[in-house]
Amino acid sequence: MSVPLKPFSWERMIEAVEAVRERMLRATAALRAAEIPYAVAGGNAVAAWVARVDRAAVRNTQDVDILVRRADFDRVKTALESVGFEHHELKGVDCFIDLPDGGPRDAVHLLYAGEKVRPEYIEPTADVNEVETADEYNIVPLKALVRMKLNSFRRKDQVHLLDMLGLGIIDATWLPSLATLHAERLQQLIDDPDG
C-alpha cells in the first residue's frame, strides 16, 4: 500500500515546527495564568537543554509533554480547555487535543509529578516544585529529565540521551549518582553510541 505524497515544501516543515511551539506556549501560558505548577518535559525539554549548547543539534518533536500534579488535574483541564484544547484519555494517558484539526500524535500529553509513568519504571517523575525557566515557560531540571529518559529508554529516549552525551551536557561522571539500572543504561550508550 502506498501513501499519497504531497509536494516537497519548506513551508510545511516550518509550519510543523511552529505548530508545536505555538501549542506549547499557549498551553504553558494558560497554566501560568492559572498559577498551576508545571514543567515542560519530553522532547521539548531536551531541545531546550540542547539548544543551550548547539542549536544545530536540536531535534524537532511532534507533541508536548507537560508535568503537573495529579491533584491539579481539574484546574489544568479548565485552563487548557479555556485556550482551545479538548481533553481525551487515550490508552490511560490524559491528553489535550488542539481543536479543530489536532490529533493524539500532536496533542499536549500530561505526565504526573511524583508518579511512575508505567508500573515497570524504577523511579517516579520529578515534582514540579523545582523547575528551570526557559524563555517563556518552565522546564524539567536536567537531572530529572535524564532520569525520566533513562526510565523509559525507548529508541527516541536513547537518541535524546545520545544527543546530550555528544554535546557534553551529560557524561560518565553522572553514573555514580544514578540508580543501578539507569547507570547501566547510560553506560551502554557511552560504550556503544552507534547501537
| pLDDT at residue 100 in the model | 86
In the chain, where are the structural domains located?
A: 10-141
Under a CB-based contact definition with an 8 Å cutoff, are residues 169 and 50 in contact? Answer: yes
Which residues contact residue 6 at a Cβ distance below 8 angstroms, ignoring those fewer than 6 apart? 12
CA 151 to chain centre: 13
Please give the share of the chain, as a percent, with pLDDT higher than 90: 88
| pLDDT at residue 1 in the model | 61
- Give the model's confidence band at 184: pLDDT under 50 very low, under 70 low, under 90 confident, else very high: very high
- pLDDT by residue (tens digit) across 120-158? 999 999 999 989 998 899 999 999 999 999 999 999 999
Strand 93-98 with 137-139, pairing: unpaired
Of all helices (H) and strands (E), which one includes residue 163?
helix 155-166
List alpha helices for 8-113, DSSP H.
10-33, 42-51, 73-81
Burial class of residue 81 (count of CB atoms within 10 Å of its CB; 0-12, 13-18, 19+): middle
Q: Measure the CA–CA gap between 33 and 53, rounded to whole angstroms.
A: 30
Burial class of residue 153 (count of CB atoms within 10 Å of its CB; 0-12, 13-18, 19+): middle
- Give yes or no for residue 13 having a pLDDT over 70: yes
- Give the model's confidence band at 33: pLDDT under 50 very low, under 70 low, under 90 confident, else very high: very high
Query: Hey, what long-range contacts does 91-96 have (CB within 8 A, 24 or more apart)?
Result: 96/27
Q: Measure the CA–CA gap between 19 and 39, rounded to whole angstroms.
A: 19
| pLDDT at residue 92 in the model | 87
| pLDDT at residue 135 in the model | 80
- Give the model's confidence band at 185: pLDDT under 50 very low, under 70 low, under 90 confident, else very high: very high
Mean pLDDT of 58-76: 96
Q: Measure the CA–CA gap between 123 and 2, rounded to whole angstroms.
A: 42
pTM, full prediction: 0.93
- pLDDT by residue (tens digit) across 99-125? 888 888 889 999 999 999 999 999 999
- Give yes or no for residue 47 having a pLDDT over 90: yes
Q: Class of the 10-141 domain? A: alpha beta
User: Considering the chain, what is the average pLDDT of its residues?
Assistant: 95
